[in-house]
Structure 1
Amino acid sequence: MRPADDFDEFVHGRGRALLRFAYVLCGDAHLAEDLVQEVLARMHRRWDRITAMDSAEAYVRTAIVRQFLTWSRRRAYREAVRADLPEPTGGDEPQQQIVARDQMWRLLHGLPRAQRAVLVLRFYLDLPDDEIAVLLDCGQSTVRSQAARALSRMRTLMNETGVGVDG
């Protein structure tokens, strides 16, 4: 199989998962597409060397994380256009889920990029600290401290804004 065919097969097979991963990192569908597209464009040139490694997907995910952390085109992604939430119709379970998801996005986007990346890698990909450290090119203690700071910051924001607090 030619490297180009192998690359196309990888993109078709894993492209959606990579987009979801990038979306969780940045919280913006268009930025996620840009991240994945830019990384895959760079990977295409040397795909034959990448596929010789143990895990091409892990390599691509690492590149996506690093691109996210160093992206020079920093958009104002913190400003999100939100549709009005629908009025509850009977049961308000779906409404609560929408509100909770929106609140979580706001909390995540209030974090510095490195802290957000650590939380996404830990809780979305369920990676252990040693693998996160390799992906982010830092020590395990840095991963643990970034996670602790991120969770502490999120708790503080929740208390300040009343998010998740009954009453």
Structure 2
Amino acid sequence: MAERDREFVEFVEAAGASLRRTAYLVGGDRDRADDIVQDALYKLYLAWPKVRRTGNPFAYARRMVVNVAHDGKRRPWRREVSTADVPDRMERDDFVSGYAERNEVLEALRGLAPRQRACVVLRYYEDLSVEQTAEILGCSAGTVKSQAARGLDTLRKAIDRARRTSRAL
């Protein structure tokens, strides 16, 4: 195996899980996350010599994941509409109640606009600074702050709405 390939494989082994988590949170679907990461890693491999010289391949790869996730949304043949059965009312002492809260957050996250979702995921899930997030998304720090604030507000409202609806059932 060539040195270039060995370095790339080591990078993928080290960063793959984190890139997949980011793709899942930005893309909203596990299967789609796999496709996003695969597309991003393919593009990264083609640019690997240049990326390796920049000194921060993980930031570059993360940006590629976000870009691929957004590009996929623009292609009409990739748009899918998920449907799910409406669950029965959950009992509060049910052992999966913590999971249901996680699902509420993930469902609310899927409802955000792509830029807001990317800002919220990178800032609060990946724990990146405003500046790092701005660099990845190719925008200003002010845009990151405003999009993250709007995204968090939208998340709060969506979760409150979902909880009021579940209590009414």
TM-score range, shorter chain: 0.7 to 0.9
CA 1:3–1:164: 2 relative to 1, 3 Å: farther
1:61 aligns with 2:65: no
Query: Match of 1:38?
Result: 39
Q: 2-side partners of 1:82 and 1:113: how far apart? A: 25
Query: Match of 1:4?
Result: 5
1:1-167 to structure 2, matched below 5 A, reads 2-71=3-72, 72-73=74-75, 74-76=78-80, 79-81=82-84, 91-92=93-94, 94-162=95-163
The Cα of 1:19 is off from its aligned counterpart by: 1.3
The Cα of 1:160 is off from its aligned counterpart by: 3.1
Q: 1-side partners of 2:138 and 2:4: how far apart? A: 28
Q: 1-side partners of 2:50 and 2:62: how far apart? A: 16
Higher helix fraction (1 or 2): 2
Q: Is the CA contact 2:105–2:155 (under 8 Å) kept in the aligned structure 1? A: no
Which stretch has the larger CA shift, 110-119 or 14-23?
14-23
Q: Secondary structure at the match of 1:138?
A: coil
Percent identity reads 31
The Cα of 1:80 is off from its aligned counterpart by: 4.6
- Structure 1 vs Structure 2 CA RMSD: 2.7
Of structures 1 and 2, the one with the larger relative CO (CA 8 A, separation 6+) is: 2
Q: Secondary structure at the match of 1:52?
A: helix
Question: Structure 1 unaligned runs (5+)?
Answer: none
The residue identity in structure 1 corresponding to 2:79 is R
Tell me the TM-score normalized by structure 2.
0.83
Tell me the TM-score normalized by structure 1.
0.84
Q: Secondary structure at the match of 1:162?
A: helix
Q: 2-side partners of 1:153 and 1:83: how far apart? A: 22
For residues 75-105 of structure 1, give each alpha carbon's deviation from its aligned partner in whole angstroms, at most 9, with x where no partner exists: 225x2546968x76x953x321111011111
Which stretch has the larger CA shift, 154-163 or 24-33?
154-163
Moved over 6 A (4+): 164-167
Q: Is the CA contact 2:104–2:162 (under 8 Å) kept in the aligned structure 1? A: no
Q: Is the CA contact 1:22–1:36 (under 8 Å) kept in the aligned structure 2? A: yes
Q: 1-side partners of 2:35 and 2:97: how far apart? A: 31
The Cα of 1:46 is off from its aligned counterpart by: 2.3
Q: Is the CA contact 1:118–1:146 (under 8 Å) kept in the aligned structure 2? A: yes
